[in-house]
C-alpha cells in the first residue's frame, strides 16, 4: 500500500501585501498538483490587482510592483472565487493539501472571500473536509529540538529540496510539497501508519502546543505579541475588534 507521502499531493501558496491576515491582500496565488514523487507538477497561477497600494517592503520580498499588478493583475472577486473552488476540488478528490504556515494563507484567503464574495472558505468547502499538511508544524513536532530557523528556505536546505525562485507562489508551493514528502520519508516509522485525516487532527494539537510554547517565550522576554493557537484557519475576529 502506498504511503500518503508517496501518493498524490496538492500544494497552495500566496504572496501578499503584508502579514496581517485581517487587513492585507493577496497579490498572487498558486496551486500545484503532483500525482507522485518525480511526476510532472501541474500548476495553476493567479495574479491579482489588490486595489490598494503594495508596500515597498512587500514588493522587496516578492518583486510584484503596483504598476505590474495594475497592468497584469485581475480584480480580486473572480480570482478568489476560482481559488476557493480549486481548493474545494482538491478536497473532493481526497488529495492532501500542503500549505506552509497554513493559518496565514488559509485565513487570508478566507478574509478575502468575505471581503470580495461575501462568503467564507467553509462555504466553498461544504461537507468536504480539508486534509492539510503543514511542513512547519510537522517538522517542528518531529524534530523539535533542532536549533535554528524553520522558514521554507531553511526547511528546503535541511531536507535537501531545491527551491528555485523563492517567493514566487508556484515555486514556494512546489518546494513545500517536496519538503512534506521528504519529512514523510525521514520520519516514516512515525508517520506511515497515519492517514492524512489523522495527521490533520494531530497537527491542530501540535500547533496549539507549539504556539503556547512560543507565547510563553514572548512573555518571558516581555514581548506583547500574541500567538494564535488556531490551525489551520484562524477564527474571525469579533466585529468590535
Q: What is the pLDDT of residues 56-86, one digit of tens each?
A: 999 999 999 999 999 999 999 999 999 999 9
pLDDT over 50 at 24, yes or no: yes
User: Is the omega angle on the peptide bond into residue 232 within 30 degrees of 0, that is, cis?
Assistant: yes
Q: Which three cell numbers stand for residue 227?
A: 500567538
Let me know if residue 240 belongs to a domain: no
For residue 46, the cross-strand partners are 29
pLDDT over 80 at 1, yes or no: no
Structural domain that includes position 150: 4-221
pLDDT of residue 237: 74
pLDDT tens-digit map of 197-226: 999 999 999 999 999 999 999 999 999 999
Let me know if residue 97 belongs to a domain: yes
| CA trace torsion 21, 81, 98, 197 (10° rounding) | 100
Let me know if residue 237 belongs to a domain: no
Q: Confidence class of residue 92 from pLDDT cuts 50, 70 and 90?
A: very high
Let me know if residue 82 belongs to a domain: yes
Average pLDDT score over residue span 106-135: 97
pLDDT of residue 239: 56
Count the domains in the chain.
1
Let me know if residue 61 belongs to a domain: yes
The H or E element spanning position 230 is none
On whether the CB atoms of residues 155 and 180 are closer than 8 A, the answer is no
CATH number at residue 185: 3.30.420.10
pLDDT tens-digit map of 36-58: 999 999 999 999 999 999 999 99
pLDDT of residue 240: 41
Mean pLDDT, the chain, integer:
96
122-139 burial: b if 16+ Cβ within 10 Å, else e: eebeeeeebbbbbbbbbb
Q: Residue 64: which of 43, 72, 170 has the closest Cα?
A: 72
Let me know if residue 48 belongs to a domain: yes
Let me know if residue 155 belongs to a domain: yes
pLDDT of residue 19: 96
Let me know if residue 233 belongs to a domain: no
Q: Confidence class of residue 238 from pLDDT cuts 50, 70 and 90?
A: low
Average pLDDT score over residue span 153-180: 96
Q: Confidence class of residue 241 from pLDDT cuts 50, 70 and 90?
A: very low
Amino acid at each position: 500500500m502506498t504511503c500518503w507521502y508517496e501518493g498524490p499531493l496538492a500544494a497552495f501558496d500566496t504572496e501578499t501585501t503584508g502579514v496581517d491576515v485581517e487587513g492585507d491582500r493577496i497579490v498572487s496565488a498558486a496551486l500545484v498538483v503532483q500525482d507522485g514523487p518525480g511526476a510532472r507538477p501541474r500548476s495553476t497561477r493567479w495574479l491579482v490587482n489588490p486595489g490598494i497600494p503594495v508596500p515597498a517592503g512587500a514588493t522587496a520580498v516578492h518583486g510584484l510592483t503596483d504598476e505590474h499588478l495594475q497592468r497584469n493583475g485581475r480584480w480580486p472577486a473572480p480570482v478568489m472565487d476560482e481559488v476557493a473552488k480549486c481548493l474545494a476540488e482538491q478536497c473532493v478528490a481526497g488529495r492532501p493539501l500542503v500549505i506552509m504556515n497554513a493559518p496565514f494563507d488559509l485565513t487570508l484567503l478566507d478574509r478575502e472571500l468575505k471581503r470580495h464574495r461575501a462568503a467564507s472558505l467553509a462555504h466553498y468547502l461544504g461537507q468536504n473536509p480539508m486534509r492539510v499538511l503543514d511542513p512547519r508544524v510537522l517538522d517542528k513536532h518531529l524534530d523539535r529540538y533542532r536549533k535554528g530557523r524553520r522558514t521554507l528556505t531553511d526547511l528546503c536546505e535541511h531536507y535537501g529540496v531545491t527551491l528555485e525562485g523563492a517567493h514566487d507562489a508556484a515555486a514556494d508551493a512546489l518546494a513545500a510539497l517536496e519538503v512534506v514528502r521528504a519529512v514523510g520519508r525521514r520520519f516514516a516509522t512515525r508517520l506511515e501508519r497515519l492517514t492524512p485525516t489523522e495527521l490533520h487532527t494531530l497537527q491542530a494539537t501540535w500547533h496549539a502546543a507549539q504556539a503556547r510554547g512560543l507565547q510563553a517565550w514572548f512573555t518571558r522576554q516581555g514581548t506583547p505579541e500574541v500567538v494564535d493557537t488556531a490551525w489551520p484557519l484562524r477564527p474571525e475576529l469579533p466585529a468590535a475588534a
